[in-house]
Structure 1
Amino acid sequence: MDLFTALGGSTPAFLAIFVESLVDAAVAMGFGREDARTVVAMVVRGTGGLLVGGEHPALLKDRGTSPAGCTMGGIMVLEEGGVRGVVGRALREAVTVAGEMGVQGLRRVGGVNGMRK
């Protein structure tokens, strides 16, 4: 339950940080903020639709890259920066906090693990 709470509840904020980072980077390179936000939002919507439709994330990533291409270059930077580990740690922390919040809530109503005091 804590994993579902964290995955469903925290993912929008995690994705928003990634989107904001892309927009800020585009602005730093001269793109207009609203234009960058619109482009990234459209890409997120399209990618989300593909994922909901059953597209596997790894296949989606592989189909979007070409040898020595710009996407692969960017992916290499993300991987060198430990993006997967950071995302994993962020979700683990969200699950831990969700569990702590659940225990605190149960204590407030008088029980832990379904047991009343």
Structure 2
Amino acid sequence: MNCLGTVLEHGGCALLKLVLHRRQYGQLEDSVSWVWVVGVETQALPETVDGSKPRSSHAIRAALVVSHAWSAPWGSGFGARVSWDALGQCILCSVDGVRLQGRCAEVVTIVPKHSQHAT
């Protein structure tokens, strides 16, 4: 997940293919949804035991995403927050209060090619 922050820092973007578990008519069904990562939520890391700074001073806690299937994110700029638990399951929490669990099946990243002659 930390690679998402690096991609965004370099002017790129990312798409996540989420397979989410939905309960419909009393049965658990999987639905597939592509979401666009528009930001990341970070958390400052403490210094190591020996007092040295970690390689990165922030860890990514969640990806902030939008989807064509959701209403426009008026105030926040994102429609949902995707985080991962210790077992690798993703948890999607929408700004409307929907909470779904599942997995991230694919990640597509796009990073611009920087020219030496760019100004």
So what's the TM-score if we normalise by structure 1? 0.27
TM-score by length of 2: 0.27
More helix by share: 1
